[in-house]
Amino acid sequence: MTSRIVNLFCGYTRKGCSNESLMDLQTQQKILQFETFVNDVLKADLAKLAEKLDVKNADVAEFLQLKSVITTFQNTNVEKTGFKTKVDIGNNFFIQAHIPDASKILLDVGLGHYVEFDLAEALIVINVRIKLLEKQIAHLRKVIARTNAHIKLILIVIRDLQGIKENNE
């Protein structure tokens, strides 16, 4: 990412100083290039990253909810008595379901695989997952901030180029 931007600037500085009329042309070309780069690359990246971040956040929320559910199971002693719930069979049609044994839970470990855990084990796994997700989220936030910075930088450069031109005129 950064190397691409550096290339962009290098191209400009190398060719730039030779001729004034050429420079005008080149600046115009460069401005156009910067703008397209901002719009087509950086902003698209930003959108993707934002989407990823959203997914991670949702996952974290899910896990947090699951954690709280499991803790309530533990606290209310439901794991021995079992409980009743409603199962959605599609389009908000609910059928009553009875869970006799609430001591075991199957967790999604990724790629559609489920592993059976005790409630305590599940809590540990969930905590690990949450930690992992939080790290990923932090990384994503960093990347997003950097992209934003790039966008800002290029916008400043474009403004500078146009400002210089205006001063010359």
Tell me, residue by residue from 82 to 111, as one string, x for binding to other proteins by CB under 8 A and - for no binding. --xxxx-xxxxxxxxxxxxxx-xxxxx---
Task: Compare residues 24 and 54 and give the one whose CB is closer to other proteins.
Answer: 54
Tell me, residue by residue from 50 to 79, as one string, x for binding to other proteins by CB under 8 A and - for no binding. ---------x--xx-xx--x----------
Shortest distance in whole angstroms from residue 148 CB to other proteins: 31
Compute the distance between CA of residue 86 and CA of residue 93 in angstroms, rounded to an integer: 9
Shortest distance in whole angstroms from residue 137 CB to other proteins: 17
Among 36, 44, 114, 142, contact with other proteins (rule: CB under 8 A): 114
Q: Which two tokens stand for residue 78?
A: 């439901």
Contact 110, 132 (CB under 8 A): no
Burial class of residue 27 in the structure, from the number of CB atoms within 10 Å of its CB (0-12 exposed, 13-18 middle, 19+ buried): middle
Cα 65 to chain centroid distance, Å, stands at: 20
Compute the distance between CA of residue 86 and CA of residue 83 in angstroms, rounded to an integer: 10
By CB under 8 A, name the binding residues for other proteins.
59, 62-63, 65-66, 69, 84-87, 89-102, 104-108, 114, 122
